[in-house]
Amino acid sequence: MWLELYLGVTLLLIVECKPLTNGKHNKLLVISFDGFRWDYDQDVDTPNMDKLVKDGVKAKYITPPAITMTSPSHFTTITGRWIEDHGVVHNMMFNSTTHKKSSHRVTMKTSEWWDNGALPLWITAQNQGLKTGSFYFPGGGANYSGQSVNRVLVEEPGQPNENETQWRENIDTVLSWFTEDDMDFVTLYYGEPDRVGHAKGPDTPDRKNIIKQIDRTIGYLRESIQRVGLSQRLNVIITSDHGMTTIKKKPLVDEIVLSKYVNLFNLVYFELLDYGGFGMITPRKGKEQEVYESLMKAPNLTVYKKENLPENFHLSKNDRIQPIIVIADLGFNLNSRLIVYVNKGDHGFNMDEMDMKTIFRAFGPDFKNNYLSEAFDSIHIYPLMCKLLRITPAPHNGSLSITEGMLVQNGGKTNQMSIGVLASIFVYILFM
């Protein structure tokens, strides 16, 4: 009798300690709110985000890659590669030989800009038998080396960036991909609060209002997950690509007009400027040192030769990076020729500036509750996603050791099993 009781108690403890997924992966939704600075929810009432912290995981902040722009940052997240490895070095597709420059929207649909050998997670997951989809998520024309994503939507001109009804419809669509199409991994993108940050500035009531809207959207997401029966099958990661800072303007400061310091017509062969705080320049042949020394005279500007870029930028090894790189001090806009800049907020500044840091939240069956993570680089999100999907990662620069503490099975389940084993030993001794 005592042996039967012992075996019964032990079996009960083992059942209670079994992995949530029984050896199978849960589904994964990754949502990016463009330009969501790490502290945007700290001066706004955000009950849904606050509850999400208690019900899941929060990182103190995320550090984006060195070029704090939308496309380079998003592609770093979805590949786990540094910019010098994945080759998406700008929002615009360009050719420094032909001087061709394409708009951001055109670039988004052009696979050749993105298909540089670094596979995005959509393709890696598909190659291992999973079904994947992308809803507006910056990552190219969805065709890599002849492989296409199962389901992809690319943002079109005139798409309502701030329409809350449309936001909820997008969530409904994505959740239907999980429930009706049985997809395993989907990414979803929203262009806010980036748009408001640029147009109105990060320290305005308009930005606070859009954060409240995002909070309501997260509340709707959680309600919808419950409604469609995915609460025990869907993990969700919420993050962003970069932060935002207020642009300093006249009469308070002098804008950095580069034509004051270097003759762009005579000395420069190709340039990518007028983009917030980041720019690249190809001097005319034999003029490299002259251009470099001239730019060094500009205030509030850091100038690098490509070969002297700091190692932690992870930029210098890619051919698309031009010979001279300029990064403005926080809040100082680059302007190549004329003062025509209208944005009240921008990014593109040094990734180590706190205003460039962004958010990370996560919840679902595989994530711990009420867990605060230390800050980490965005490249480490990739191996975490692969772990959740139980797939073998493509080559990447991240490390699972940075994020695996967020997961229930890392520590939580092991500890429970240890308690179960100890309890069973106690029962055995008690009834011997």
The residues annotated with a catalytic role in the active site are 70
Contact between 237 and 29 under an 8 Å Cβ cutoff? The reply is yes
Give the CA distances from residue 82 to residues 16, 407, 411, in Å, rounded to whole numbers and listed in that order: 41, 24, 29
CB 384 within 8 A of CB 235: no
| Rounded distance between C-alpha atoms, residue 272 and residue 179, angstroms | 44
Return the bridge partners of 328, or none: 301
Look up residue 89 and give its two tokens: 């070095």
Beta-carbon contacts of residue 79 (< 8 Å; ≥ 6 apart): 85, 86, 118, 119, 120, 121, 382, 394, 396
Burial of 248 (0-12, 13-18, 19+ CB in 10 A): middle
